[in-house]
């Protein structure tokens, strides 16, 4: 079998040595540019390489991504790691295998076809020939570029891919640690940054006398509006940070913050409309919304940095070390060649959280402490309140039905805060301390992610259904000063929730079963299959009201309209609160590299979506984010988690698709559809908290 | 108030001197280099820092060292020295019970304290023991299965 096309990351980094090394006898070192975020990606990538090279998994060693040596594979986001890095590493391994076989056959003066290998040892028939990968690797030119077609193992022959070996990193992490937080460099200084309490807040006073009296071991570092507390003892700096109100004064300077410009409303006619949508004769016109959502990593962000002789090294749990390197260099006036950024494992981030910011924090402080390593850790409150938030959004849907009860025209209008403000995006630094050092670093213009990257606010704004007339408009709303950026699934969460809620509302108007109504408008066969699969395992029909205040709801989407398909059925009870009792998921993510890893991603995404849907939204106070903790920003607990049953539809011949962002939209919709049915009142605004229920019931 | 605290950590005698208002978590991480237990909030809200202290699962992020004179503390690093701890570590691995794993340092210690007190807990008892722990990755299902797997394995081994 020959691989069809070269993935972008391999085109960008074609040299074999960039990806793979046989320098350590018995081991194969691989260097993915994608990073471990808790999604188990390194294990899955190791499986792919072990498969192509006939190695055991234990022979694969993975180097953490490092701007000095690793291939630049962009940001680890958008469920692209298996699709991109996996495809690149498969081709790299196949090329390496071909080179090793050719070299071995030259040495043996035998045709490569009569050789085989196992665990890196060459055989002729059942006899070892006295050569292995490592003895012949010295004769291979690893500076060669990967070019041309190459035979890869046929999916039908996979022995390691498609199984679920133990995670390479999990056991060690539990019993010994191994996160960036756990790195202790010699003579390391601890630091805490006192964040600006709102965007572009001005530091007006710092009472150093108070600080040195109460915390003699803590040094105050002020650069414009950047304030750090630095010292050898972590408890000291942590305590001083908690007391920051006692010695720091902030003020608001009117007009200092200005909203970013945007392109305005972008209108896309998705399909040629045969039936123009009249906004007067609509069967449904409804607006759906969600608030700001925190990434809510369990670990507060952390960064380490070391500066000496003009060279800056930074350790980070960022999703994009290359972009971060470039922006740290730009922000601090370094040549990119003098900045090295190394990935270290962090806790799950679920998108662009405080990781990048913490890295710049550490770099700023390290430059001021040449020759001494610096470790910065954020507080819980800053992690929830000062990291970029998931964007608040709304979507208005208007739809018309024909005489037969099918949708004749559909128009959706999305308004959203920006989803794409990662370091470097839009030509901006996009790091919070960059703005503290220089208020002019505030982004002046913000765009949505382009459709080629899956879109941001526009992600999944186009419904997967076949409507005769279908129009989508997307506009960015930059009127809030709150920093927003990518949170798992970006706009797909609200857009799919809105589309799938409207489909339920329209089904009800058309007096149709919600499943049947969806299938009526759906030609995509794999989408139909996951819908029918979810219906089957859940015992749909959804009209079933098993008990008072209890109902089923359904939702479906194909992530980005080009990724994995997922249908969800939720069984929900509504009494004083909405509770999800059971959840059934049917997924088509193509070939599963590691089925348990895929299940973890799908079910974990679903549980996070239940949390967003039932509990999560940040209420701004005068356009400011209040200092939050887990009491004021509660998330789902063990006792809230439903029983989940997941079924994968697997066609080994279909390319693997990322699974971590497929469930958020369909699960939110399934819950809201079930809760609306159980309650007899339509719920269109997330989250579905107790307070929201009371308000809705009072209004109706 | 004494300026010296003596306690046991993973079976070894340890003494803390100097600032005894320091939270146990920071003292373990920075003075003893025991890094497996994690800071999540410092507010006793998330459970990442939970340790076994005299057999009880307790938060350590805000617990001053001065309270621990004579205490017997088990951290995740000590689990492998105990049959219940080993069973839990193996079960968490086998069940893929975790994604990023950062919260597991505390969850595994609550599970340890639970199984020490109750060798065959019901699902409800496991949920109750873990309900103060937050997991943002959504690994709850695997975690519950892992604790049950460890309990089952230990029960079978002792039969």
Residues A101-135 pLDDT 10s: 999 999 999 998 999 999 999 999 999 999 999 99
pTM of the entire predicted model: 0.96
For residue A235, what are its two tokens? 């408890």
For residue A681, what are its two tokens? 């009142």
> What fold characterizes domain A393-419+455-699?
Aldehyde Oxidoreductase; domain 4 (3.30.365)
Contacts of A298 in chain B (CB under 8 A): 40, 46, 48, 100, 102-103, 134-136
State pLDDT tens for residues A570-613.
Answer: 999 999 899 999 999 999 999 999 999 999 999 999 999 999 99
Residue A301 reports pLDDT greater than 90: yes
A185 interfacial to chain B (CB closer than 8 Å): no
CB contact (8 A) between residue A604 and residue B138: yes
CA distance A521 to chain B (A): 33
Please give the C-alpha separations between residue A594 and each of A86, A109, B48, in angstroms, as whole numbers: 12, 39, 27
Residue A422 reports pLDDT greater than 90: yes
Q: What is the pLDDT of residue A272?
A: 58
Domain boundaries, chain A: 8-171, 179-243+296-387+429-435, 393-419+455-699
pLDDT band for position A266 (cuts 50, 70, 90): confident
Q: What is the pLDDT of residue B2?
A: 55
State pLDDT tens for residues A200-211.
Answer: 999 999 999 999
Q: What is the mean pLDDT of chain A?
A: 94
pLDDT band for position A79 (cuts 50, 70, 90): confident
State pLDDT tens for residues A507-535.
Answer: 999 999 999 999 999 999 999 999 999 99
Name residues whose C-beta falls within 8 Å of residue A232's C-beta, 6 or more positions apart in sequence.
Answer: A189, A190, A217
Indicate if ipTM > 0.95.
yes
Tell me which CATH code domain A179-243+296-387+429-435 carries: 3.30.365.10
Residue B1 reports pLDDT greater than 80: no
Q: What is the pLDDT of residue A199?
A: 96
Residue of B nearest to A646 (CA): B141
pLDDT band for position B158 (cuts 50, 70, 90): confident
Can you say whether the dihedral through the CA atoms of A535, A540, A543, A545 is positive or negative? Answer: negative
Tell me which CATH code domain B4-75 carries: 3.10.20.30
A173 interfacial to chain B (CB closer than 8 Å): yes
| Helix (H), strand (E), coil (C) string for A342-395 | EECCCCCCCECCCHHHHHHHHHHHHHCCCCCCEEEECCHHHHHHCCCEECCEEE
Cβ atoms < 10 Å from Cβ of A596: 18
Of A170, A380, A644, the CB nearest to B141: A644
Q: What is the pLDDT of residue A100?
A: 96
A630 interfacial to chain B (CB closer than 8 Å): yes
Under 8 Å CB pairs connecting chains A and B tally to 169
Residue A1 reports pLDDT greater than 60: no
Domain boundaries, chain B: 4-75, 78-158
Report the percentage of chain A scoring pLDDT > 90.
89
User: Taking a C-beta distance cutoff of 8 angstroms, is the pair A687, A567 a contact?
Assistant: no
Residue A278 reports pLDDT greater than 80: no
Query: Span A335-359, mean pLDDT?
Result: 97
pLDDT band for position A5 (cuts 50, 70, 90): confident
CB contact (8 A) between residue B38 and residue A181: yes
Contacts of B77 in chain A (CB under 8 A): 175-176
Q: What is the pLDDT of residue A270?
A: 67
Nearest to A200 by CA among A10, A481, A446, A402: A481
pLDDT band for position A38 (cuts 50, 70, 90): confident
User: Taking a C-beta distance cutoff of 8 angstroms, is the pair A566, A602 a contact?
Assistant: yes
CB contact (8 A) between residue A176 and residue B134: no
A379 interfacial to chain B (CB closer than 8 Å): yes
What is the full DSSP assignment across A27-89? -EEE--SS--SSS-HHHHHHHHHHHHHT--GGGEEEPPPBTTTS-----S-TT-IIIIIIHHH
State pLDDT tens for residues A614-624.
Answer: 999 999 999 99
Residue A82 reports pLDDT greater than 90: no
Query: Span A194-200, mean pLDDT?
Result: 97
Tell me, yes or no, if the two domains A8-171 and A393-419+455-699 fold the same way.
yes
CB contact (8 A) between residue A346 and residue B131: no
Higher pLDDT, A543 or A27: A27
CB contact (8 A) between residue B38 and residue A38: no
Cα-based angle A581, A586, A587 (whole degrees, multiple of 5): 130
Cis ω before A174 (30° cut-off from 0): no
What is the full DSSP assignment across B19-80? -TTSBHHHIIIIIS---SS--S-SSSSS-TT-EEETTEEE--SS-BGGGGTT-EEE-GGGGG
State whether residue A614 is helix, strand or coil: helix
Q: What is the pLDDT of residue A335?
A: 98
Query: Span A675-684, mean pLDDT?
Result: 95
For residue A417, what are its two tokens? 């805060």
> What fold characterizes domain B78-158?
DNA polymerase; domain 1 (1.10.150)
Report the percentage of chain B scoring pLDDT > 70.
99
Assigned architecture for domain A8-171? 2-Layer Sandwich (3.30)
State pLDDT tens for residues B56-113.
Answer: 999 999 999 999 999 999 999 999 999 999 999 999 999 999 999 999 999 999 999 9
Q: What is the pLDDT of residue A451?
A: 85
Q: What is the mean pLDDT of chain B?
A: 96
Q: Name the residue with tokens 């605290």.
A: B5
Query: Span A386-412, mean pLDDT?
Result: 96
Nearest to A259 by CA among A387, A445, A475: A445
Q: What is the pLDDT of residue B3?
A: 86
A164 interfacial to chain B (CB closer than 8 Å): yes
Q: Name the residue with tokens 């040596």.
A: A69
Residue B131 reports pLDDT greater than 60: yes
């Amino acid at each position: 079998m020959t691989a069809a096309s070269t993935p972008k990351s391999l085109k960008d980094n074609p040299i074999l040595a960039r990806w793979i090394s046989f320098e350590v006898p018995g081991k194969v070192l691989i260097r993915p540019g994608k990073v471990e975020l808790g999604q188990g990606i390194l294990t899955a990538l190791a499986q792919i390489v072990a498969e192509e090279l006939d190695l055991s998994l234990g022979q694969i060693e993975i180097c953490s991504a490092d701007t000095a040596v690793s291939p630049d594979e962009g940001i680890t986001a958008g469920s692209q790691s298996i699709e991109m890095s996996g495809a690149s590493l498969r081709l790299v391994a196949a090329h390496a295998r071909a080179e090793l076989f050719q070299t071995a056959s030259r040495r043996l003066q035998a045709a490569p076809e009569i050789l085989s290998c196992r665990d890196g040892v060459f055989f002729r028939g059942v006899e070892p020939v006295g050569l292995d990968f490592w003895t012949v690797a010295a004769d291979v030119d690893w500076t060669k570029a990967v070019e041309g077609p190459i035979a890869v193992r046929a999916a039908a022959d996979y022995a390691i891919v498609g199984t679920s070996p133990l995670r390479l990193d999990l056991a060690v992490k539990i019993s010994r640690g191994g996160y960036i937080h756990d790195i202790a460099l010699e003579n390391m200084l601890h630091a805490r940054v006192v964040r600006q309490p709102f965007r572009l807040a001005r530091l007006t006073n710092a009472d150093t006398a108070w600080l040195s009296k109460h915390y003699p071991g803590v040094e105050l570092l002020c650069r414009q509006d950047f304030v750090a507390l630095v010292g050898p003892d972590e408890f000291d700096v942590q305590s001083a940070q908690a007391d920051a109100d006692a010695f720091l004064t902030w003020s608001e300077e009117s007009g200092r913050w200005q909203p970013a410009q945007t392109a305005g409303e972008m209108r896309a006619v998705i399909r040629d409309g045969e039936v123009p949508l009249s906004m007067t004769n609509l069967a449904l016109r409804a607006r759906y919304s969600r608030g700001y959502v925190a990434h809510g990593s369990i670990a507060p962000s952390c960064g380490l940095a070391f500066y000496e002789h003009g060279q800056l090294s930074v350790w980070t749990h960022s999703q994009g070390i290359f972009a971060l390197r470039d922006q740290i260099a730009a922000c601090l006036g370094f040549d990119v060649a003098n900045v090295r950024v190394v990935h270290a494992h962090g806790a799950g981030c679920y998108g662009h959280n405080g990781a990048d910011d913490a890295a710049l924090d550490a770099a700023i402080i390290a430059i001021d402490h040449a020759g001494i390593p610096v470790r910065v850790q954020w507080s819980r409150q800053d992690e929830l309140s000062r990291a970029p938030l998931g964007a608040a959004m709304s979507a208005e849907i208007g739809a018309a039905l024909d005489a037969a009860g099918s949708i004749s025209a559909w128009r959706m209008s999305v308004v959203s805060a920006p989803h794409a403000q990662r370091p470097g995006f839009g030509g901006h630094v996009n790091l919070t301390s960059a703005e503290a050092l220089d208020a002019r670093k505030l982004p002046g213009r913000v765009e949505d992610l382009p459709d080629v990257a899956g879109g941001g606010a526009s992600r999944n704004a186009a419904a997967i259904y076949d409507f005769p007339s279908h129009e989508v408009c997307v506009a960015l709303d930059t009127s809030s000063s709150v920093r927003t950026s990518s949170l798992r699934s970006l706009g797909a969460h609200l857009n799919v929730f809105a589309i799938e809620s409207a489909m339920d509302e329209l089904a009800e108007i058309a007096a149709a079963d919600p499943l049947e109504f969806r299938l009526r408008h759906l030609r995509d066969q794999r989408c139909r299959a996951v819908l029918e699969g979810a219906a089957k395992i859940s015992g749909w029909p959804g009209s079933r009201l098993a008990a008072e205040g209890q109902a089923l709801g359904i939702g479906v989407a194909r992530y980005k309209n080009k990724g994995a398909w997922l249908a969800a059925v939720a069984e929900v009870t509504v009494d004083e609160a909405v509770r999800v009792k059971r959840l059934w998921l049917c997924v088509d993510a193509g070939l599963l590299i590691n089925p348990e890893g895929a299940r973890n991603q799908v079910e974990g995404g679903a549980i996070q979506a239940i949390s967003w849907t039932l509990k999560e939204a940040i209420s701004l106070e005068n356009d400011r984010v209040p200092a939050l903790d887990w009491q004021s920003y509660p998330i789902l607990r063990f006792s809230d988690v439903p029983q989940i049953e997941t079924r994968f539809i697997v066609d080994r011949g279909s390319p693997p698709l990322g699974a971590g962002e497929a469930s958020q939209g369909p699960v939110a919709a399934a819950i809201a559809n079930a809760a609306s049915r159980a309650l007899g009142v339509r719920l269109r605004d997330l989250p579905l908290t107790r307070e929201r229920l009371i308000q809705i019931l009072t209004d109706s | 108030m004494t300026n010296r605290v003596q306690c046991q950590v993973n079976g070894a005698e340890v003494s803390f001197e100097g600032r005894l208002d320091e939270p146990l978590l920071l003292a373990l991480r920075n003075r003893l280099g025991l890094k497996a237990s994690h800071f999540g909030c410092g507010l006793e809200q998330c459970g990442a820092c939970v340790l076994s202290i005299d057999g009880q699962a307790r938060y350590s992020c805000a617990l001053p060292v001065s309270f621990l004179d004579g205490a017997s503390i088990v951290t995740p690093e000590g689990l492998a020295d105990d049959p219940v701890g080993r069973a839990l570590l193996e079960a968490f691995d086998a069940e893929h019970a975790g994604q990023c794993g950062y919260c597991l340092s505390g969850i595994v210690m609550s599970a340890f304290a639970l199984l020490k007190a109750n060798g065959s807990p019901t699902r409800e008892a496991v949920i109750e023991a873990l309900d103060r722990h937050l997991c943002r990755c959504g690994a709850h299902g695997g975690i519950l299965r892992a604790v049950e797997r460890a309990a089952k394995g230990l029960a079978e081994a002792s039969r």
